[in-house]
């Protein structure tokens, strides 16, 4: 499904460069549910951002379903992201001035309204927040916000769902709700990669990748 081959990432913001990833290689198969764990600063977000086509590695190669990802080809890269990759993050990244409905519908901007409503409602049902569609994010709990973000991430039927600390700001009840949803998504054939600090989260994953100082250990 995805293959990272000898990936390094060096940030050169100030005078002293930071080696965030140091020669990392990983293969993840279709339908796998994988946790990436390790201390803060070990390179987890850098790695998942490369997987998501959001930031480019300094060295190495990234293959998505056998095809080399070309970060210099911006149109092809955004097509890959739009059609194949869903992304969720710890603070949900919802737009506060838009309702839950409009947040979920964001990736469907060019679609006719009737069809759009049908699809948004179907995905809201999948994550159990259909009754909340007219609410704004600030009127909803963290667990509900994350479920909206998941519905939005899934609406284009991605093959790969990436989650950077998806339960990091949730209580244990909502953590379980979100993890049950992610497990179901994975059981339906979507590849799921989850960055987490939490052993109870990684326990639901089929494989744990541990990182330290930019390397896999």
Residues that bind ligand ADP (CB under 6 A): 11, 13, 18, 20, 38, 40-46
Residue 64 near residue 14 (C-beta atoms within 8 A): no
Q: Which is nearer to ligand ADP, 49 or 99 (CB)?
A: 49
Contacts of 67 (CB under 8 A, 6+ apart): none
The partner in contact with residue 174, picked from ligand ADP, Mg ion, none with C-beta cut-offs of 5 to 8 angstroms by kind, is none
Taking the complex as a whole, the smallest distance from the CB of residue 88 to ligand ADP amounts, in Å, to 15
The partner in contact with residue 145, picked from ligand ADP, Mg ion, none with C-beta cut-offs of 5 to 8 angstroms by kind, is none
Stretch that binds Mg ion, among 38-46, 121-129, 143-151, 179-187 (CB under 5 A): 38-46
The span from the CA of 172 to the CA of 214, in Å, is: 29
Place of tokens 């054939």: 189
The partner in contact with residue 42, picked from Mg ion, ligand ADP, none with C-beta cut-offs of 5 to 8 angstroms by kind, is ligand ADP
Place of tokens 């479920």: 147
Q: Which is nearer to Mg ion, 45 or 146 (CB)?
A: 45
The span from the CA of 4 to the CA of 97, in Å, is: 38
Q: Which of 4, 45, 108, 162 binds Mg ion (CB under 5 A)?
A: 45
Q: Which is nearer to ligand ADP, 47 or 181 (CB)?
A: 47
Q: Which is nearer to ligand ADP, 121 or 213 (CB)?
A: 213
The span from the CA of 86 to the CA of 126, in Å, is: 16
Reduced to 3 states, what is the DSSP secondary structure of residue 172? Answer: helix
Q: Is 196 in the site for Mg ion (CB under 5 A)?
A: no
DSSP state of 120: H
Taking the complex as a whole, the smallest distance from the CB of residue 82 to ligand ADP amounts, in Å, to 23
Question: Exposure of 144 by Cβ count < 10 A (0-12 exposed, 13-18 middle, 19+ buried)?
Answer: buried
């Amino acid at each position: 499904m995805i293959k990272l081959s000898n990936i390094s990432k060096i940030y050169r913001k100030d005078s002293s460069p930071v080696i965030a990833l140091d020669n990392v290689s990983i293969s993840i198969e279709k339908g796998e549910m994988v946790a990436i764990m390790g201390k803060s600063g070990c390179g987890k977000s850098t790695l998942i951002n490369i997987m998501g086509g959001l930031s480019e590695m300094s060295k190495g190669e990234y293959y998505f379903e056998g095809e080399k990802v070309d970060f210099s080809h911006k149109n092809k890269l955004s097509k890959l992201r739009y059609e194949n990759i869903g992304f969720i993050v710890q603070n949900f990244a919802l737009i506060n001035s838009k309702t839950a409905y409009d947040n979920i519908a964001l990736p469907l901007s060019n679609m006719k309204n009737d069809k759009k409503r049908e699809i948004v409602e179907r995905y809201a049902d999948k994550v159990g927040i259909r009754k909340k569609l007219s609410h704004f994010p600030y009127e909803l709990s963290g667990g509900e916000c994350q479920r909206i973000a998941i519905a939005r991430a899934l609406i284009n039927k991605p093959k790969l769902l990436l989650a950077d600390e998806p339960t990091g700001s949730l209580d244990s009840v909502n953590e379980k709700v979100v993890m049950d949803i992610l497990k179901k998504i994975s059981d339906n054939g979507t590849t799921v990669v989850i960055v987490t600090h939490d052993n109870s989260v990684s326990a639901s994953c089929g494989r744990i990748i541990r990182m330290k100082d930019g390397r896999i250990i």
